[in-house]
Amino acid sequence: MIPKLKKGSPRPPQPQPGPRSYTQGRASKAEVTIKRGNEKGNPITATEFSSQIVPQPFLDPSIMERRIAAEKQWAADKEKIEKQTAMSSQP
């Protein structure tokens, strides 16, 4: 069914339905929003990813070094305590 044309001046467009959120209004179809960084002015650093490079785990190597050092320290402390208890238990 073809709508009939009416004579007269053009009417304004029909209003869009209300926003679905109480905190943020509905964006129009032609609205474009650009955000630049955060409010404090700190720049956002971009990280570039390439599918051609060899994948690597997301692990900081210094974490492993610290864990190894902590393990060695714990083993040394444990051995020291065992020696002290062995010395004190002897008559």
- Round to whole Å and give the CA distance between 40 and 43: 9
Q: How confident is the model at residue 33 (pLDDT cuts 50, 70, 90)?
A: low
Q: Quote the pTM value.
A: 0.34
Q: Which helix (H) or strand (E) holds 87?
A: helix 61-89
| Phi-psi map region of 8: left, alpha, beta (phi>0 left; psi -120 to 50 alpha) | left
Q: What is the tens place of the pLDDT at every residue in 39-63?
A: 566 666 777 777 777 766 677 778 8
